[in-house]
Amino acid sequence: MPRRRLASWPGIAACAAGAAAAALAIAACEDRVGGDVMTRPGIYDGSPEPDDAVGPVVDGSPDTGASDAGEGGACPSGSTLRSVRAACTGAPLVPPAALVTDSTAAAPGDVVSLSGMSEPAAPCLPVVVCTPDDAPTLYFSDSPESPSQDGVLYADTAQPGRYRLYVYTTNGGAALRKFPVVVLNQGAAAAKVTIVRRGLAAPGGAYVAIGKQVIADWLAPRAPADVAVPPGTRVLLDADLDAMHASTGDLVHAIYDVVVDQPVKISFVSVLAGADAAAVTAGLPLLPRDFDHQRGTFPKADVLVTLAPVDGGAQKPGVQRLRLGLDEVDETLEGVDVPTGVKQKLLGNYGMLYRFALGLPSASTAAISARGGAWGGVVEIGDGGPIALPSASAALSTTTDAIVLGPQSPATTMRLMSAGGSNLPIDVFFVTP
């Protein structure tokens, strides 16, 4: 198996967490959507989508399903209210002196000890969670995760708008295999797909390390690239992804942010390394989902987290935390496996970008602790470029240490994404003297 622990699978975060995180893991595991799905036989690519296909986010419309969105709070210009997480009770923890000293002296990405403090007991930091107007719709392809045959892994028709394409597939066969993205223009007008962000890494077996490399590459600035799709034509989204050939058990992982100007069908496919993917996709069958992973279309795949306006101020001296990946700050993304119409929950919210613009009035230091098992990711602080978390190893595998994010000021902004193969939840916590 390409994954040795259930907890490390992108769609099943925290389901096999240790005893310390078991209570947190139960809720996530019970909500899992799984099971093989009977699919339409024969040729798939080019077939119509079901009526309940999820469309792109192009107007920033608010998510009225948030249970506590009416509690107050306001989102910055260019975003709409998603939820308010302001019911934070209890006094902030008093941090050990060693933690204050070590975290202040550490560089972002360094690991420090939490000895002398039970960080999960810290109260939450009151925040407002918003949906940026430019939040993309996520096309997530991780099921089947380890195909051994040719076929369509996932597909949906994208209307004009912004999308994030998440490729996460290992080779379950004996022959070299590749997992490119193919774009079909079924319209009468020429279409253009603009790649505004792209993250790639060489195939391999170090899944979390590859996940971090892909995110770092995706965050790195680069000029947009246009992909022309003539009417009635299939083209590769990216020849570089097509050139990545996986041996048995190797992971191919990529993340793209794209903008499309005409309706196009986007297909994630599995073919042998020597195949002409654009030519053969028309004849490929849809492969059934596997039990343990997700695929689907998930709208509103970015969140913006800001400080909640509460009486007496949200920030207090001591330790306060934000728990990500377990419906405390960020609700689990919900969408649909469009080819089958099966609703999906993307446990762990892999592919979601967390944007932090907290505007903390008092200087503090931020850090991350792993609460569901080994975790790795990447952060960008301001315009400083991507930082691997942790910086000296693939993942943080203890609950008694933390990864330093660095000092926080009123002007500090951060962008954070969890690596595929990591375990959720995590706590982002703040130490305020």
Task: Give me the pLDDT at residue 73, please.
Answer: 55
Hey, which bits of 72-126 come out as E strands?
79-85, 111-113
pLDDT digits (tens, 9 = 90+) for 173-189: 999 999 999 999 999 99
Task: Give me the pLDDT at residue 8, please.
Answer: 39
pLDDT for residue 103 is more than 60: yes
Domain residue spans in the chain? Answer: 40-57+136-298, 69-134+301-432
pTM: 0.85
Task: Give me the pLDDT at residue 384, please.
Answer: 94
User: Residue 150 has which token pair?
Assistant: 């040719």
Residue in 386, 388, 369, 405 with CA at minimum distance from that of residue 212:
388
Average pLDDT over residues 405-410: 96
Q: At residue 90, what is the residue type?
A: G
pLDDT for residue 201 is more than 80: yes
pLDDT for residue 232 is more than 90: yes
The gap from C-alpha 55 to its chain's centroid, in whole angstroms, comes to 18
Lowest mean pLDDT among 20-34, 145-159, 304-318: 20-34
pLDDT digits (tens, 9 = 90+) for 286-312: 999 998 899 999 999 999 999 999 989
pLDDT for residue 62 is more than 80: no
Report the C-alpha gap between 361 and 364 in whole angstroms: 9
pLDDT for residue 56 is more than 60: no
Cβ neighbors of 312 (< 8 A, separation 6 or more) are none
With pLDDT > 90 as the criterion, what percentage of the chain qualifies?
A: 80
* 3-state DSSP percent of the chain in helix, strand and coil, to 5: 15, 35, 50
56-73: string of b/e by CB count within 10 Å (b at 16+)?
A: bbeebeebeebeebeeeb
Measured between its terminal Cα atoms, the distance across the chain in Å is 47
Instruction: Return the residue matching tokens 């992971």.
Output: 251
Residue in 132, 414, 53 with CA at minimum distance from that of residue 300:
132
- SS3 state at 94: coil
The gap from C-alpha 76 to its chain's centroid, in whole angstroms, comes to 23
Alpha helices, DSSP H, located in 192-330: 207-219, 239-242, 277-280
Q: What is the dihedral angle through the alpha carbons of 89, 90, 91, 95, rounded to the nearest 10 degrees?
A: -100
pLDDT for residue 334 is more than 50: yes
Contact predicate 71/55, CB 8 Å: no
User: Residue 361 has which token pair?
Assistant: 């009035």
Burial (Cβ within 10 Å: 0-12, 13-18, ≥19) of residue 261: middle
pLDDT for residue 51 is more than 50: no
Report the C-alpha gap between 286 and 171 in whole angstroms: 17
Task: Give me the pLDDT at residue 58, please.
Answer: 35
pLDDT for residue 4 is more than 50: no
Task: Give me the pLDDT at residue 326, please.
Answer: 86
Average pLDDT over residues 396-400: 97
Across all residues in the chain, what is the average pLDDT?
87
Lowest mean pLDDT among 40-44, 254-258, 266-270, 390-394: 40-44
Instruction: Return the residue matching tokens 């003297």.
Output: 433
User: Residue 355 has which token pair?
Assistant: 């944007």
Average pLDDT over residues 240-244: 99
Burial (Cβ within 10 Å: 0-12, 13-18, ≥19) of residue 385: exposed
pLDDT digits (tens, 9 = 90+) for 338-369: 999 999 999 889 999 999 999 999 999 999 99
Contact predicate 429/122, CB 8 Å: yes
- SS3 state at 25: helix
pLDDT digits (tens, 9 = 90+) for 417-428: 999 999 999 999
Task: Give me the pLDDT at residue 77, please.
Answer: 94
Question: What sign has the CA pseudo-torsion 297, 197, 420, 305?
Answer: negative
Average pLDDT over residues 2-31: 34
pLDDT for residue 32 is more than 50: no
Average pLDDT over residues 273-291: 97
- Which neighbouring-strand residues pair with 375? 396
- Give residue 74's pLDDT band: very low, low, confident or very high (50, 70, 90): confident
Task: Give me the pLDDT at residue 53, please.
Answer: 35
The CA-atom distances, in angstroms, between 93 and each of 249, 320, 406, 427 are 44, 7, 19, 14
Q: What is the dihedral angle through the alpha carbons of 243, 246, 250, 251, rounded to the nearest 10 degrees?
A: 40
